[in-house]
Chain A
Amino acid sequence: MTRPEPTAALERALAPMHRRAFLRGVAAASAAGLVPLGCRDPELGPPADRSLRVLSPRAYATLNAAAARLLGPPAEVLIQTRRVDPAARADDWLGETPALGAVLGQGLLALELGVWPLLPKLRPFTTLAGPAQDAVLASCMGSRLDLKRDLFKGVKSVAALAFYGEPASHRAIGYPGPFGTARDVAAAMAWSPDP
């Protein structure tokens, strides 16, 4: 079957992280001022006129920052110029499935605020330059810790689904959209027999 997406992805993103006390610990530590907060990139946070349903402004900015690096250059441009806003879409989904919101929020906070030795950084994710963000993501992807790999997969999955679910992302990948023209569909069905 084709793999299903948003709620599923969110649940997938979050379920493995769900009961990880340390994620809550990171959140609590940040609230208590025990981890460096720094300034997040305001361009990736929620627009001033947007009221968030589930994500905090910091989690919102972290998701957009991670999505921009995870999905590569064309996505980065579209996200930074706000033509696609994956965090906004994810926040909408989470509003439909509020139980998941807290878990995604925790995962994103861990990515944003987690520091060495958990993650190879001493500053918030959103304040790092692109290559340093990539190093953090790579350390999660290749980690021997299940938790870090789950974090990578979960955030990537949500980012990819939220991004490619938006019509503005389709042009960069040559996708004509869910309802192709008769010509598009005919091109997908045309086949000359094997010589």
Chain B
Amino acid sequence: MASEEVLRADAVVIGSGAGGAPVAARLAEAGLDVVVLEAGERFSSADFTGRAGNLLPRLMRASVAADSGMEVYAGRGLGGSTLVNDALCWRPPPDVLAGWREEHGLGGLTEAAFAPFVDAVWRDVHAAPTGPENLNRNARQLALGAARLGWAGEAMPRNVRGCANLGLCNLGCPTNAKQSMLLTYLPRAKNAGARIRTGVRAERVETAAGAVRSVRARGPAGRLRVEAPLVCLAAGVLETPALLLRSGLETGVGRDLQLHSSLHVTARFPEPVHGYYGPTMAYAVSEFSDVNGRSGPGFMIENVSTAPVTTAGALPGFGPEHARMMGLLPHLARSLVVLRDRTRGRVDLDGDGEARIHYEPVAEDLARLRLGLAAIARAYFAAGASEVWLPVNGMAPLTGEADLATVDDVPLDPRAFSLLYAVHLFGGASMSGRGDGFCDEAGRARGVQGLHVVDASSLPGNTGVNPQVTIMANALRIADAVLAARGATA
């Protein structure tokens, strides 16, 4: 039998993204001997060459809901999804926290309780308002349309320092402007002594007598076991629930998966837009949101890059019409609907023990997505667009406001869309104060001492805004609870 490397530590953190990295830093800085296991590679800015074909297979993983074709994406690599995200930062909306308190019995999740952690994250990742120097023409077209229609909207804060407007945020920032986990919490964890292992995939958590004992993993050098009395799960929503299921921990696991479903709308403008340069995303229309005090149908509209690979995959149809649309690339602007879904899905294991998602959007969500498509088209026409393509295979482009009525014909069928996807994932091992979730309000697994869920899997529902700050703040909150509990028992 091949030999197995064995490490001992005070704590193991599985996954190094928005949930894992802050926890690793906090625990290590508090003096714990921490091991971080990360399945992906370690990158540096020198690796971020902008070459999509080489980088994305290494930086991204995906899953598809077999029941609906919904596509779900997450980052992989040291830093997790923060390596490839768009750097947009929102504080957790107070009304979302209120919903979690009321619906999930999480009475301690008050705005006041979250505030110090949110403030810490905001500072630590250098979140700051986005100024006009970082609003590209792509963002401005959306903003212009919204302004002409009298809709609420704003430039979104981003966690960047000295952004050079290269538009490569989703391929890893080559200038180190984006303050991902790779540049913020992970160096802090390392400086405080954390041992960070990359290319190491945790396969199972081992428990005995109601307590966590060790993590079994596989890495480039073979098998690895880390023995520790404290395990923090942060492998992301595509993997944390699967890891638990593989470990035989099933109660409350896999349920309550929730997403922000997204669809792209593309518009042609008479003047060049060059939407592939400048921040990949920067401006949001919040008019239709149902968070932060708004009572709209529950979606945001956010502008998004027109990098060719991503644009091409999302456009409807094929053949000469596809070539025509792509031939107009410099004149294209794009935005997406980011829906606060009401659908609930689940995660289970396939025959190979890998995560499998089930997510069949409810009719109400499909209808709200359709409203979102119509709203983006309206905004673009208000801004002066001459053609608008909805992401619906077989549908002709809209050529003016008179065509907006045809949006009502968009079928409420997830497979009718050229691309229906999500990158904001929530739940699967969520907190509940009512005893029905996998973990309690402090992220503690019920019935397994020393096991905590610290990533987006622990959140009981979606946030209605881009979630990374909420995930990081929640992770710091749980880390403090872990340290407080240790202090109490020391």
A residues near B, CB below 8 A?
1-12, 15-16, 18-19, 69-75, 89, 92-93, 96-97, 134, 137, 141-142, 146, 149-150, 152-153, 156-157, 160-166, 169-170, 172-175, 177-180, 184-185, 187-191, 194
State A155–B318 Cα separation when bound (angstroms). Answer: 11
Interface residues of B in 277-323 (CB under 8 A from A): 277-278, 280-281, 304-305, 307-310, 312-314, 317-323
Chain A residue at smallest Cβ distance from B140: A191
A168 to B50, CA, bound (A): 15
Does chain A have a CB within 8 A of B89? no
CB of B133 within 8 Å of the partner chain: yes
Could you name 9 residue pairs across A and B whose Cβ atoms are closer than 8 Å? A73-B320, A141-B317, A153-B415, A178-B50, A178-B307, A179-B166, A180-B274, A188-B165, A189-B135
Instruction: Say if the beta carbon of B95 comes within 8 Å of chain A.
Output: no
How many residues of B are counted as interface, with CB atoms below 8 angstroms from the partner's CB atoms? 79
A95 to chain B, nearest CB (A): 9
- List the 7 shortest-distance A-B pairs measured between CB atoms, nearest first: A72-B323, A178-B50, A8-B62, A165-B53, A188-B274, A15-B64, A188-B277
If A72-B321, A189-B278 touch, whether A6 touches B69 (CB-CB below 8 Å) is: no
Q: Judging by beta carbons under 8 Å apart, are B281 and A189 in contact?
A: no
User: Within the complex, which residue of B56, B135, B320 is in contact with A8, where a contact is CB–CB below 8 Å?
Assistant: B56
A173 to B262, CA, bound (A): 25
Chain A nearest CB: distance from B440 CB in Å? 31
The one of A96, A141, A161 in contact with B313, judged by C-beta atoms closer than 8 angstroms, is: A161
Cβ-defined contact, B319 with A3, below 8 A: no
Measured between beta carbons, the chain B residues less than 8 angstroms from A10 are 57
Q: How far is the CA of A164 from the CA of B329 in the complex (A)?
A: 12
> Residues of B contacting A8 with CB < 8 Å?
56, 60-62, 71, 73
How far apart are the CA atoms of A98 and B164 in the complex, in Å? Answer: 36
Chain A: interface secondary structure?
helix
Decide if B63 is an interface residue (CB 8 Å cutoff). Answer: yes
Q: Verify A70–B56 contact, CB threshold 8 A.
A: no
Interface residues of B (CB under 8 A from A): 49-53, 56-64, 66, 69, 71, 73, 84-86, 132-133, 135-138, 140, 144, 147-148, 164-171, 262, 264, 272-278, 280-281, 304-305, 307-310, 312-314, 317-324, 326-327, 329-330, 336, 393-394, 415, 418-419, 421, 423
Partner of B276, one of A92, A150, A153, A188: A188
Residues in A neighbouring B147, C-beta threshold 8 A: 194
Q: In the complex, which of the residues B57, B71, B264, B320 contacts A96, with contact meaning CB atoms closer than 8 Å?
A: B57
A11 to B275, CA, bound (A): 27
The DSSP consensus for interface residues of chain B is mixed
Known contacts: A175-B308, A178-B168. The answer to whether A188 contacts B137 by CB under 8 A is yes
Q: B393 and A4: CB pair below 8 A?
A: no
A106 to B322, CA, bound (A): 26
Q: Taking the nearest CB of chain B, how far is it from the CB of A69, in angstroms?
A: 6
Contact in complex: A9, B313 (CB < 8 Å)? yes
CB distance from A21 to the nearest CB of B (A): 13
Residues on the A chain within 8 Å of B144, using CB:
194
> Could you tell me the distance in whole angstroms from the C-beta of A166 to the nearest C-beta in chain B?
7
CA distance A97 to B60 in the complex (A): 12
In chain A, what residue has the closest Cβ to B383? A194
B51 touches A161 (CB 8 A): no
Q: How far is the CB of A125 from chain B (nearest CB, A)?
A: 14
**Contact status A172-B137, CB under 8 Å:** no
A1/B61 in contact, CB under 8 A: no
Shortest Cβ distance from B130 into chain A, in angstroms? Answer: 12
Q: Given contacts A73-B320, A188-B278, A191-B140, is CB(A173)–CB(B327) below 8 Å?
A: yes
Which residue, of A10, A175, A189, A190, has the highest number of chain B Cβ atoms within 10 A? A189
Least Cβ distance of B148 to chain A in Å? 8
Cα–Cα distance between A142 and B326 once the two chains are bound (Å): 22
Residues of B within 8 A of A189 (CB): 133, 135-137, 165, 277-278
